[in-house]
Amino acid sequence: MRKRKKYILIAASWFTVLLCWQFFSLYIGNKDIFPSTFQLITAVFYLFSEASFLSAVSSTLLRGICGMLLSLCLAAILAWRASRSDAFRTYIHPFLTLLRSVPIISFLFLFLIWFSPEYIPLVMALITIVPVLTENLIAGFRNIDHSLLEMSYMYAFSVKQKIKHIIYPAVSPYLFSGLISTAGLGWKAIIMGEALAQPVTGIGVMIREAHGFIEVPRLLAWTLVAVVISYGFELLLKRAEKYSFPVSFASKDYAEKIMENFPDILNIEGIRKRYGHKILLSELRLSVSRGKITCLMASSGYGKTTLLRLLSGLDHAEA
């Protein structure tokens, strides 16, 4: 679909929503309960002039960003451990299922008793985002090609290089799928927490205040602000999903410098290796000169790959 056509359809969709809203406003005939489209737009612009607007929006944004970053860190730790241990994955599965299954409102009422109002929106973000994100990241970590990790070990990749060029490309589809699917739910939980916990300020606090004074246009205006924030955050995530780290290749001088660390002759003596009852290598002796091509020929299953893994340090010979 062309971009122009896409934007036209989006504009038509919003126009339809506003038109339907205006129709129901005229049909109900009570602007205090169901304001007109013009009243709603006016209320949104009026919010910008309020002294509390920036502080409320920034407080909610800060809670949302902190909640998502903490959720990402916790989910990454749990998922990395679970992807490497089936026992640990089985152990945490009931906890993740519990967090996904229990109604958010039940957690919220418990947190109103247990925690300070300032921390409740943050905790709400954690319990809504962590379970889904953890499951996604477990699948992502299991998607990592271990042969590429072995290659990175042989070429002495740094931890940063491994993350940028091997781990991140494998995990990113699962990561952003989880973030995008939970972002909207996370913002809802945070604003709901603000509305009931009543911290110093926040969008949820403003919505609760407008409800208390039966200011329907103001309540809807704050709701629209919350929708715009959630949608804008989703667009940022979709844009970030397309990013990939640039690949840089080592220069010829760097490669030659690395080769200087290798000996002129590599002597292999007395290597032994078996798998189960099958002996692959026994008392192997071999000399390999630097700068010369050495060809190893044998049928499949005679230990050629095993020898290369032993020489590269990916496997260990028998004592």
- The domain ranges of the chain are 35-241, 264-312
190 and 204 Cβ atoms separated by less than 8 Å: yes
pLDDT at 1: 57
pLDDT of residue 253: 67
> Angle at the Cα of 148 (from 146 to 153), degrees rounded to 5?
95
pLDDT at 58: 92
Name the CATH superfamily for 35-241: MetI-like (1.10.3720.10)
Rounded Cα distance, 290 and 288, in Å: 7
Tokens 């709603």, residue located:
40
**Which ranges of the chain have pLDDT less than 50?**
none
DSSP annotation of 260 reads T
pLDDT at 82: 93
pLDDT reported for residue 258: 63
The pTM of this model reads 0.78
CA torsion angle for 274, 280, 286, 290 (degrees, to 10)?
-90
Give the type of residue at 167. Answer: I
The structure tokens listed for 157 are 């990749």
Q: What is the pLDDT of residue 250?
A: 63
Q: Say which residues have a Cβ less than 8 Å from residue 223's Cβ, sequence separation at least 6.
A: 207
The β-bridge partners of 279 are 274
- What CA–CA distance (Å, rounded) separates 182 from 176? 10
